[in-house]
Amino acid sequence: MSWRDVGFWARGRLSLAASRVANRRVALPAPAPLDGVLRGPTTPLALVRLLENRSNAEREAAVGRWLASRGVEVDRHRFATFEGRGENLAVEVGRGDRTVVLIAHHDAVPGSPGANDNAAAVAILLHLLERWGPRPPEGVRVRLLFPACEELGYLGTRAWVRERGVRGIAGVLSLELCGVGDSLALWDASTPSPFLAGVRTALEGLGLVADVSYHVVGRIPVFGSDHRAFAAAGVPAYGLTVVPAAEATALRSFVFSPVRSALRHAVRRPPPFDTYHTARDASATLDPAALEHVAVALQAIVAAAGR
Ligand SMILES: [Zn+2]
């Protein structure tokens, strides 16, 4: 145990307590029957129902069930520390000396359906796994990592990095809030890297334009995500989020002001933060085009990493 871990523990508990208070009067609707989702369509939006409205234990189990039903080899990594416990799940596709890690945490805060945070991201990666089944990526290995306990200061990923290491990893993207909006935002991306250059090339190859349809921004205060555990180990690692272009200015002032973001339960929040960590974070608020946009971008990023 280190003082850094104690800090994560304290911040994580505070954030969960805030969500519990804010969402206290809400009972979640019944989740979609799991068997129906397992046999149903594999569009990203349909796969959001795999996790939406379930408890964290059920979300973790549902991801495991889905992966097992696909016949892929699943790396199950259980961890338990004084901060919490859970299971990280990982699968790999493609072959190569270098690995790109794509992350989507499966847990949610109490009282939230957890659709945009973070069922949408999980659904996008499961959808990609399906697409890559018959035609795996070439020239690069892709690890899809589904950690537990992101909402406890990305505890699951810290445990993963500590125990599994980071050897051979070319770059990491952690998907957060990937279901609302039309512009991609790479964040915590203040340090250039060959991986980041490849991401830019891939996005521009799709016709996206820097500072218009995709944005690369520096370290964001208050908010964080799983990539930071890899960044702390010296790996190029960034957050990936979709945002509505029309909200770009409001979003900048919201996420880059530590005071506004810390008081996020009290101030008017621009989308996609209007539903973030609330009982309103339901799949009805998601835009299927946003999820599809992220899936296409990730395919291009992986293809570029393999060249
Ligand atoms: Zn999240």
Residue 25's pLDDT is 67
Q: Residue 149 C-alpha to ligand 1 middle, in angstroms?
A: 10
Contact 138, 306 (CB under 8 A): yes
Q: Residue 62 C-alpha to ligand 1 middle, in angstroms?
A: 17
Indicate the length of the chain as a whole number: 307
| Sign of the torsion formed by the C-alpha atoms of 304, 157, 226 and 19 | positive
pLDDT one-digit tens code per residue, 232-246 = 999 999 999 999 999
Question: What mean pLDDT is predicted for residues 42-47?
Answer: 98
Give which of 239, 242, 234 is closest to 288, Cα–Cα: 242
Residue 62: CB atoms within 10 Å: 22
Q: Residue 120 C-alpha to ligand 1 middle, in angstroms?
A: 10
DSSP letter at 19 equals H
Give the pair of three-digit tokens for residue 280: 């309103």
pLDDT of 163 over the 90 cut = yes
Q: Residue 107 C-alpha to ligand 1 middle, in angstroms?
A: 8
Q: Residue 307 C-alpha to ligand 1 middle, in angstroms?
A: 31
> Which one-letter amino acid corresponds to residue 185?
A
Q: Residue 283 C-alpha to ligand 1 middle, in angstroms?
A: 15
Residue 281's pLDDT is 97
Give which of 64, 94, 120 is closest to 281, Cα–Cα: 120
Cα dist from 157 to 10, 123, 138, whole Å: 17, 19, 26
Q: Residue 150 C-alpha to ligand 1 middle, in angstroms?
A: 7
Euclidean distance between CA atoms 242 and 248, whole angstroms:
11
Contact 79, 163 (CB under 8 A): yes
pLDDT-derived band at 145 (thresholds 50, 70, 90) equals very high
Question: What mean pLDDT is predicted for residues 206-225?
Answer: 93
Q: Residue 276 C-alpha to ligand 1 middle, in angstroms?
A: 9
pLDDT-derived band at 9 (thresholds 50, 70, 90) equals confident
Q: Residue 159 C-alpha to ligand 1 middle, in angstroms?
A: 17
Q: Where are the extended beta strands (E) located within 94-161?
A: 99-103, 141-146
| Sign of the torsion formed by the C-alpha atoms of 47, 51, 57 and 60 | positive
Residue 1's pLDDT is 64
Is omega for the bond preceding 272 within 30 degrees of 0, making it cis?
A: yes
State residue 20 phi and psi, 5-degree precision. Answer: -60, -40
Question: What mean pLDDT is predicted for residues 69-94?
Answer: 96
For residue 3, count CB atoms less than 10 angstroms from its CB and return exposed for 0-12, middle for 13-18, buried for 19 or more.
exposed
- SS3 at position 184: strand
State residue 72 phi and psi, 5-degree precision. Answer: -95, 155
Residue 24's pLDDT is 75
Q: Residue 178 C-alpha to ligand 1 middle, in angstroms?
A: 10
pLDDT-derived band at 268 (thresholds 50, 70, 90) equals confident
pLDDT of 2 over the 80 cut = no
Rounded percentage of the chain residues whose pLDDT exceeds 90: 81
| CATH code at position 51 | 3.40.630.10
Q: Residue 251 C-alpha to ligand 1 middle, in angstroms?
A: 17
Q: Residue 118 C-alpha to ligand 1 middle, in angstroms?
A: 5
The contacts of residue 209 (CB under 8 Å, 6+ apart) are none
Q: Residue 151 C-alpha to ligand 1 middle, in angstroms?
A: 7
pLDDT of 18 over the 80 cut = no
- For the chain, the domain total comes to 1
Euclidean distance between CA atoms 294 and 184, whole angstroms:
8
Give the pair of three-digit tokens for residue 82: 């004084």
Q: Residue 170 C-alpha to ligand 1 middle, in angstroms?
A: 23
- Pairing label, strands 169-175, 84-93: unpaired
Residue 265's pLDDT is 66
Q: Residue 108 C-alpha to ligand 1 middle, in angstroms?
A: 7
Quote the domain boundaries for residue 11.
Answer: 3-305
pLDDT of 293 over the 90 cut = yes
Question: What mean pLDDT is predicted for residues 128-150?
Answer: 96
